[in-house]
């Protein structure tokens, strides 16, 4: 009997989930922002300092995850989605092999990466309605380091 119960627990706790939970990032009368990891194997921790429908030039964020792949080079790609259409919005190299810009550049598989600091948003007004934002960080081999889908509801 113990073997059967152990086997059932093993299956339940080792079977990968279809989706990670949706995390509430920010909510006011006019704005709601949620995020969900789009990496099928790993969730992430993310928070922001302010929650306002008035968009500042920069916001302070905190983000953390455990690396499944090492980082020699790292790029970020941001895609916006609205009314069923997706458009590339922003792309930038964050880490280059010969020119590491951030402390997490050069981190190895299994290490914790944590960033706390300002991020420029690149826009000053939120459109009314629902906006999808996909943020993906990829290493030199195009392995996903972090992937998050944000849903922004502006009323």
pLDDT value at residue 82:
85
Cα(31)–Cα(52) distance, integer angstroms: 7
Cα(62)–Cα(75) distance, integer angstroms: 18
Give me the mean pLDDT over the 68-89 stretch: 91
Give me the mean pLDDT over the 70-90 stretch: 90
Name the burial class of residue 148, with classes exposed (0-12), middle (13-18) and buried (19+) by CB atoms within 10 angstroms of its CB.
Answer: buried
Give me the mean pLDDT over the 139-143 stretch: 95
pLDDT value at residue 16:
57
Contact 28, 53 (CB under 8 A): yes
Cα(101)–Cα(97) distance, integer angstroms: 10
Percent of the chain with pLDDT over 90: 56
Chain centroid to Cα 111, Å, comes to 17
Phi, psi of 98 (to 5 degrees): -95, -5
Domains, the chain, ranges and CATH?
19-154 (2.60.40.770)
Is 52 a residue whose pLDDT tops 70? yes
pLDDT tens, position by position, 91-140: 999 998 877 677 888 999 999 999 999 988 777 778 888 999 999 999 99
pLDDT value at residue 91:
92
Percent of the chain with pLDDT over 70: 88
Q: Is 13 helix (H, G, I), strand (E, B) or coil?
A: helix
pLDDT value at residue 4:
42
């Amino acid at each position: 009997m113990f073997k059967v119960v152990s086997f059932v627990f093993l299956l339940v706790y080792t079977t990968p989930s279809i989706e990670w939970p949706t995390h509430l990032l920010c909510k006011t009368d006019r704005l709601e922002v949620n995020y969900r990891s789009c990496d099928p194997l790993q969730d992430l921790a993310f928070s922001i300092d302010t929650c306002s429908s008035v968009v500042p030039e920069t916001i302070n964020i905190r983000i953390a995850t455990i690396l499944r792949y090492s980082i020699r080079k790292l790029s970020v790609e941001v895609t916006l989605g609205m009314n069923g259409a997706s458009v590339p919005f922003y792309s930038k190299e964050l880490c280059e092999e010969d020119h590491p810009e951030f402390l997490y550049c050069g981190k190895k598989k299994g290490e914790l990466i944590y960033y706390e600091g300002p991020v420029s948003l690149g826009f000053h007004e939120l459109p009314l309605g629902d906006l999808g934002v996909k943020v993906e960080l990829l290493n030199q081999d195009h392995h996903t380091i972090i992937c998050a889908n944000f849903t922004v509801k502006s009323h």
